[in-house]
Amino acid sequence: MCALSHVAVDAPFEPLVRRIMEEATVIDSRILKIDHFLNHRVEPSFMLAMGNALAERIGPFAPDIVLTAEASGIAPALAVAQALDIALVYAKKYSPDVEAPALSRVVPSPTKGGNTRLVISGRYLTAGLRVAIVDDFLANGRTALALAEIVADAGAHTVVAGFLVEKLFQGGRASLEERGIPIATLAQVARLEGDRVIMREM
């Protein structure tokens, strides 16, 4: 279990910021690709380090469980859950048959096209739980918002949402802030210019 500290929820995690600056590929000034270490090829030691750092930021909110969505959210969420020594639940979308009663939301995907259904068994998300939503990216916020709505449907409470990388220029945090959900991040990308990544100035 990580030692919890009073790290600011948006304090940059310098090893991640540095790797984004040095290694990211930018496509069409709108797509940030760091899948060679984040969500396609995963480096376990680095993922655990990021999980510990994110756990430091969300631990003070005292969540009972970590919640994420299949599939790229599972690695960071598992690292955070391990650091906090709490359970991980993930919403299924590739084989969305779950034990009844089922809680679900449909999430539109503007980048991939079409809709995705996220489904969670009510057996694992019960009334009164304090939930930390964790994912790799916060971009348009649709997945995180869908998870927060499912949490509310279950009578549970989203106490914080944590992300490894936030793309500020896509405005995803607004829908979470409207629900009063605090947001923790490790790296905030202000904008993409040509092939350059411009990080938020602290």
| Burial (Cβ within 10 Å: 0-12, 13-18, ≥19) of residue 9 | middle
pLDDT digits (tens, 9 = 90+) for 177-194: 999 999 999 999 999 998
| Structural domain containing residue 30 | 14-199
The answer to whether residue 101 is domain-embedded is yes
- CATH code of residue 19: 3.40.50.2020
The answer to whether residue 97 is domain-embedded is yes
pLDDT digits (tens, 9 = 90+) for 128-164: 999 999 999 999 999 999 999 999 999 999 999 999 9
The answer to whether residue 37 is domain-embedded is yes
Average pLDDT, the chain: 93
The predicted pLDDT at position 54 comes to: 98
The answer to whether residue 3 is domain-embedded is no
The answer to whether residue 62 is domain-embedded is yes
Distance CA 138, CA 95 (A): 23
Q: CA gyration radius for the chain? A: 16
Q: What is the number of structural domains in the chain?
A: 1
Distance CA 70, CA 76 (A): 11
The answer to whether residue 4 is domain-embedded is no
Residue type, 104: S
pLDDT digits (tens, 9 = 90+) for 30-78: 889 999 999 999 999 999 999 999 999 999 999 999 999 999 999 999 9
More confident call, 110 vs 173: 173
The answer to whether residue 149 is domain-embedded is yes
Mean pLDDT for the stretch of residues 77-92: 97
Distance CA 191, CA 29 (A): 8
The answer to whether residue 7 is domain-embedded is no
Q: Is the pLDDT of residue 112 over 70?
A: no
Q: Is 56 left (phi over 0), alpha (psi -120 to 50) or beta?
A: alpha
Q: Is the pLDDT of residue 202 over 70?
A: no
